[in-house]
A = this chain, B = another copy of it.
Amino acid sequence: MKKKAPVAPAMRAGALTGQAEDYLKAIYEMEQGGEPAATTAIAELLGIAPASVSGMLQRLARLGLVQVERYRGARLTHIGRSAALQLIRRHRIIESYLVTRLGYGWDEVDEEAERLEHGASTDLVERMAAALGHPTEDPHGAPIPTSEGLVDERRLQSIADLAVGQTARVVRMSDRDSEFLRYLAGMGIRPGATVKVAEREPFEGPVTITVRGKKHPVGIAAASRVYVESAPARRRGRG
């Protein structure tokens, strides 16, 4: 209800449609490391056809949010990156709020936040942040960008990067896919947990890790989605 503006459900300053927002977040996450985000990779992450991505990238480019190199992929412009960081901030604050105030499990909150973030106003998000005391990490341990868009993306190692015998503290893990998160939780892997690599099969094989005294074999795909802070670990504050 209430008079609506022309057509686009802009609602927020950025004036992007929900879908376009998802693209920005996806590109932000994939382009880490100089390389532009590949069309197919974006398509896979968002669950849409590569052809659709090509089209959207052109639109985003027209809006000055990404820079597209034909047949190579897209990278965010400064404006695009800043927009993406704002979206990530929204997402992580909403996740934090849902977990802290409404009893959501950290392994099921991503989906709900994904839908809410497209409708929530910046004002609401900031109220949530304030209610939580301006948290700096979300429930999965991922850093929350500040409202200025900065983010501490310290280069973390994943379990897959550790050598046999190394001990490390889990800092964060990929937040999507609650099934995966529950699987990790079942082994005691969560932000703050200490893990140790007991064995490693060669050729990209599974890694056997020790968590709270119990050994668990973990596939390389899963291991590389759990970020750790390699540290002698043994009782310590923050990293």
Contacts and interface: CB of A to CB of B under 8 A. Distances in A.
Interface residues of A, number: 37
Contacts of A3: 47
Contacts of A1: 22, 25-26, 45-46, 110, 114, 176
A219 interface: no
Nearest to A124: B112
A2 B110 contact: yes
A232 interface: no
Contacts of A48: 4
Interface of A: 1-4, 9, 11, 18, 22, 25-26, 45-48, 98, 101-104, 110-112, 114-121, 123-124, 127-128, 131, 176-177
A119 B115 contact: yes
A4 B44 CA distance: 10
B115 A102 contact: no
21 contacts: A1-B22, A1-B26, A1-B114, A1-B176, A2-B177, A3-B47, A11-B115, A98-B124, A102-B124, A102-B128, A103-B127, A104-B127, A112-B120, A115-B119, A115-B120, A115-B121, A116-B119, A116-B120, A116-B124, A117-B119, A118-B119
A101 B131 contact: yes
Q: Which of A2, A46, A102, A121 has the most CB of B within 10 A?
A: A2
